Amino acid sequence: MPLRHIHRPDRAAAWKKALLYGLAALTVFAACFIVYFFYSWGTDGDLKEFVDNSAQLTSLARPDEPILPIAIPTGLDTQKVALGQILFRDTRLSRNNTVSCATCHDLARGGVDHLPRSFGVDGAEGDINTPTVYNSSFNFRQFWDGRAASLEEQAEGPILNPVEMASSWEHVVSVLEEDPQIRARFRAIYGGAVTPVRVMEVIAEFERSLVTPSRFDRWLKGDERALSDKELEGYRLFKRHGCIACHQGVNVGGNIFQKFGVMLDYFAGKTVTRADLGRFNVTGREEDKYVFKVPGLRNIALTAPYFHDASAQNLHEAVAIMGRYQLGLDLPSEEVQLIVLFLTTLTGEQL
C-alpha cells in the first residue's frame, strides 16, 4: 500500500520570509529613530515642522479632560477675513470718525483696553467692563448678558450703541461706498454693494480667525513638558474645588449662564446698577437677575481688570472672590497662587 504524501514546508522559503520581515522591522525602527533624533535636537529643515504639524492631526491625547484644545479654524474666507480686519480698525464706522472696534478691543493688549469701562464717541462712558474679542467664536452667546446669538449680531451692537460708536447703518454704508478700495473689495467678495449684513459678516469672519492656542493646549495633546509641576497642581485644584463646573470646554467657559453669587450675595450692600442685572435686562425674568454668561478664561492673565464690574484688579483677587462667592470657599493664599499659575498657561499666541 503506497504511503500518503506528507507535505514538508520549504525551509529555505521560510527563512527568506523571516529575513524580509526582519529587514522591514529594522527599517521602520531606523526611520522612527531618525525622526526622534532630529525632532529632539531640533533642525532648521522641514522635518521638525512636519512632525509639529502632524502632531496637530493626531487624536486628542487626554480625552477625559473637561477642557478641550483649541481647534485651528478652517474654511474661513480669506478675503472676508482681510476686509474684516480693515473694518475692525476703521474709525469711520463711528459717527465722528474717532472710535473703532480696536479702540476697546486692542489686539496687542489681550483684546481689551484694560479700563473698568470703555469710552466711546465724545467721551461717553460705557456701563460694563469690555470682554476680550480673542476666541470669542467659541462662546455660545456674545456680550456679558448673552443678548447676541452670533458674532455677526454682536458686530452690529457697538456700531449702533449711542455710548460706543453712536453711528447708523446709513452712515456706515455711505462712508464705505465712497472709498474706492473698500467698494472694490466688497464687489470682489459679494459681487455687489456694501450692505449692513455684509459689513457684519466680514467683521465676524475676521473675529473667527482670532484664536490663540496655548501651552495648556500642548499639554492636552500629550506634551508632558508643556506644564510645570506647580501649574499642573494648580489645574488639579481648579478641578477639585469645582471651578471646572463653569469653566470648561474649548474656551474654558463662555458656554453657559451662571448667577454671580451662587453661595453668597455678591451684591449685598452695593448700589446695584443696570449692568449688574445681567441677563435680566434681556429676558425680564426675575430668576435671571445677576446672571451672566460665564467668561472664557483663555488669555485671562492679559485682560485685567476682571468681572463685569471690573472689581478685581488682578488674578489673585479674582480667584479669591470666585472661591468665596461661587464656591463658598476661603481659598488659602498658597492655593490661589497655584490656580493663578495654571491660569497663566492659558495665555496663547494669535495665529
Q: What is the mean pLDDT of the chain?
A: 87
Closest by CA position to 209, among listed 68, 87, 84:
84
Q: Is the pLDDT of residue 4 over 80?
A: no
Closest by CA position to 340, among listed 319, 326, 322, 325:
319
Q: Is the pLDDT of residue 50 over 70?
A: no
Q: What is the pLDDT of residues 94-123, one digit of tens each?
A: 999 999 999 999 999 999 999 999 999 999
pLDDT value of position 46:
32
pLDDT value of position 350:
76
Q: Residues with catalytic annotation?
A: 164
Segment among 56-60, 307-311, 319-323, 333-337 with least mean pLDDT: 56-60
Beta-bridged to residue 258, according to DSSP, are: 292
Give CATH for domain 215-344.
Answer: 1.10.760.10
Q: Return the higher-pLDDT residue of 46 and 136.
A: 136
pLDDT value of position 42:
35
Q: Is the pLDDT of residue 15 over 90?
A: no
Q: Is the pLDDT of residue 45 over 80?
A: no
Q: What is the pLDDT of residues 249-274, one digit of tens each?
A: 999 999 999 999 999 999 999 999 99
Q: What is the pLDDT of residues 338-349, one digit of tens each?
A: 999 999 999 998
Q: Is the pLDDT of residue 337 over 70?
A: yes
Give CATH for domain 78-208.
Answer: 1.10.760.10
Query: How many CA atoms within 13 Å lie on the side-chain side of 32?
Result: 6
pLDDT value of position 23:
43
The domain locations on the chain are 11-56, 78-208, 215-344
Topology match between the domains 78-208 and 215-344? yes
DSSP states along 7-66: P---HHHHHHHHHHHHHHHHHHHHHHHHHHHHHHH--SSSHHHHHHHHHHTSPPS-TT-S
% of the chain surpassing 70 pLDDT: 83
pLDDT value of position 60:
61
pLDDT value of position 293:
98
Closest by CA position to 296, among listed 255, 236, 341:
255
